[in-house]
A and B are shown apart, each in its own frame.
Chain A
Amino acid sequence: NAGVMQNPRHLVRRRGQEARLRCSPMKGHSHVYWYRQLPEEGLKFMVYLQKENIIDESGMPKERFSAEFPKEGPSILRIQQVVRGDSAAYFCASSPPNQGVVRNTEAFFGQGTRLTVV
């Protein structure tokens, strides 16, 4: 059972370009979470998605950032017109649906995408 897969691992973009980050959740996991982490700082929640639905995007900037989790394929975090301040590590985590069950609902993380804007 493969873990959470993120790609690319490293991404370099010039200011003004678009960055597209991909996340394939673990098999059987229907919940995807995106987090951003700046150096020496904690994880900052961005968005929580289920298949074809955005459940909570309260942590995502209103401008330039968007996320999707289509019925088929990976979840995508898209950053348009990147700026230097977008440089960070972006982590994706996935978890199974709890369906009323409390246990075995852990979230597992991918290796992250390190975005550098030059």
Chain B
Amino acid sequence: QKEVEQNSGPLSVPEGAIASLNCTYSDRVSQSFFWYRQYSGKSPELIMSIYSNGDKEDGRFTAQLNKASQYVSLLIRDSQPSDSATYLCAVRNTGNQFYFGTGTSLTVIP
């Protein structure tokens, strides 16, 4: 079983809609969870981190963490064409190792 799993997509949403990206992880004792965005040909950039169960909001982005279900999600409200990218879920375990999912490709259609 992979450490971090994501639906590879592609996911297409119309401009202004909510995009929902999901991720599950296998290591129950993981403590730190991250979402990165990667534009084509560029390096991943950190957009959200979450450490506690519940929701964390930052502008149009909301990260949700459910440790009991080992589930992390990212909601993007009022999606814009500039949000079109690949979104990578990452988990840091107690051994300081980062595991990345393979990414979900998002396209926002104008």
A residues near B (Cβ < 8 Å) are 31, 33, 35, 41-43, 45, 48, 55-56, 91, 93, 95, 97-98, 102-103, 105-112
Contacts and interface: CB of A to CB of B under 8 A. Distances in A.
Interface string B69-108: 0000000000000000000101010011111111100000
Contact of B34 (A48, A97, A106): A106
Given A102-B31, A106-B34, A107-B90, A45 B100 contact: yes
B14 interface: no
Given A43-B88, A103-B51, A109 B96 contact: no
A38 to B, nearest CB: 11
Contacts of A35: 100
Contacts of B100: 35, 42-43, 45
Nearest to B3: A45
Of the four ranges (under 10, 10 to 19, 20 to 34, 35 or more), the interface on chain B belongs to: 20 to 34
B62 interface: no
Contacts of A110: 43
Contacts of A102: 31-32, 51
Contact of B96 (A98, A103, A111): A98
B99 A45 contact: yes
A95 B49 CA distance: 13
A93 B90 CA distance: 13
Given A102-B32, A105-B92, A106-B34, A43 B44 contact: yes
Contacts of B102: 41-43
B55 interface: no
A105 B43 contact: no
A48 B101 contact: no
Contacts of A41: 102
A111 B88 contact: no
Contacts of A103: 32, 49, 51
